[in-house]
Structure 1
Amino acid sequence: MDTHPESDAAAAAVRHARFGKLPERIQFHQMIEEETAGPNGGAANAYNPEGSWNHFSCLALDLGL
């Protein structure tokens, strides 16, 4: 296969003009965000065993068995 350095350089220039350069890398400490718990101390998302029964379906109950 015959390659031409001039056409490769021209194609690279066209790609660079179209796409530019890659964005800068994001550091790990910039990706995380820490927040304090709300006024209830996160109790809004706490596990409630008495109220959790309605989040699951039971095939036996659906069939009336």
Structure 2
Amino acid sequence: MAASSTDAAEMARRTRFGRLPERIRLEDTIEERPAIAPDPARDAYNEDEWLVRTCL
């Protein structure tokens, strides 16, 4: 009786883990997004802001 329960457990394990998952293509793992145009106001240099941030 112990052999049949062991066989059933082995069969269930092989059914679940008996083969590797399907291979995922490299193209499916890469996400592409369009680049946004640079915002000139975002990168504008402001002397007063720099002075306040570093000296105060």
Q: TM-score, normalised by structure 2?
A: 0.36
